[in-house]
Structures are given as structure tokens and as C-alpha cells.
Amino acid sequence: MGGEHGPSAVELLPRFKRDGCNLLVSGAVSESTANRASQRLLGSPDLDRKRVLVRTGESGPVDGLLPPGVSTADRSVRVVQHRTPSDDGDGGDSLATLSRRVAETVTAFDSLSPPLVGGELRLVVTSLDALLADHDVRATERFLRSVTDAVSSVRGMGHYRYPGPRADLSSLPTERLFDAFVDLRDTPATEQRLSIPPSRSTDWLDL
């Protein structure tokens, strides 16, 4: 039910799936819990989805983020790797370069026939903490604005992972950057909670 603050988070979910959104996913949880959330947000393997994985930190495989049966080798999946200075001899990617490559990847999917429909594009940025460790807050904010704009332009669904409590990101204007927040926890059970300012949050739900 909606309340004095307008529609509830649950009531807004169908609109988000239809019209697209950008979600901050946070919580000090195990990698398996975080990956389970990503698998769900990247969409059912039974539906036609175009998936973009933006690797901003870890060097290991990212297949664990994808739904069962979906692989980075699939034609509908693209991996955009952020090159750090230690990866190559030319200083690595700036965040402006990375955001441009992400936008080009989204545009390439949208240029296919037929073009993208609402909720078809699914994107994940794998590690906000890695961005903040290597870049200042202003550069990180500009990057996020660029990527969220690219996702919104095709009514896609993007999510951005942070492996700690949402409050730790107080240096970023999160309520202006993201449409909603998904909080994760491992105890007392593996659960998630959706918050859409200024509406109420959902209860903790099984993940």
C-alpha cells in the first residue's frame, strides 16, 4: 500500500522494470550473496536480455555474476574492463575513457534491430569501492552520472555494487545518482530490502 509519502517500494517495482532504473546495491555480505543479487538483477536466462558487465576492480572471472546458463562468451553479453595503471604501460584508463566505452557498448546494443525495449539492457558496475580507492570523489561522481545517463537513455536497469553499508558512501550524492537502493544482509538470513526515496522501504525479503 502507498502511504503519506506516495506509492510503496513494492508498488513501484513494475514501473522500474518497465521504464528502467539505476540501483545502488550495498551491504557487508559474502561474495555469493552479492553475486546472487546480481544474477537476479541481470535478468532471467529465459528472457532476451543484453547484459553489460563493467569490471572496475577485481581481476578474477565475472561469470559468477551472471544468471545460470549465461556466459561472458554469449553474443548478448559484453564485458568492459577498467584498465588500471598496473595493467599496462600507458597509465590505464581514465574514468572518462571508461564511461565513454560503456556508453559506446550501450549504443551498440541499441543500434541492433530491433532496438532495445524497456528493461532489456541490464548493466552492473562490479566495484564502487575500487573506483573510490583509485579516483577522487568528483571523478567517481562524473563517471556514475555518465553511466546512469547511458542506462536511462535506453530504459535499461543498472546496478552498482558496494561491499559495505550504504552510509559509508556519504561523500557521494547517492539519492541524486540512483533511483533506489537495495540493501543486502547475510544474517539472520540471506535477504534483501528495497528503498525508494521518499517512499517506505520493503520488509527484508528472501534473496
Domain that residue 45 falls in:
9-202
Q: Identify whether 3 is part of a domain.
A: no
Q: Identify whether 123 is part of a domain.
A: yes
Cα–Cα distances (Å) from 28 to 12, 50, 53, 185, in that order, read 26, 28, 21, 7
β-partners of residue 184 are 192
What is 164-202 written as a DSSP string? S-GGGGTTS-HHHH-SEEEEEE-SSSSEEEEE-TTSPPP
User: Residue 149 sits in a domain of what CATH number?
Assistant: 3.40.50.300
Q: How many separate domains does the chain show?
A: 1
Task: Take residue 205 and report the three cell numbers written for it.
Answer: 525479503
- pTM score, whole prediction: 0.91
pLDDT in tens, 43-52: 999 999 999 9
Q: Identify whether 173 is part of a domain.
A: yes
pLDDT in tens, 50-64: 999 999 876 567 889
Q: Identify whether 87 is part of a domain.
A: yes
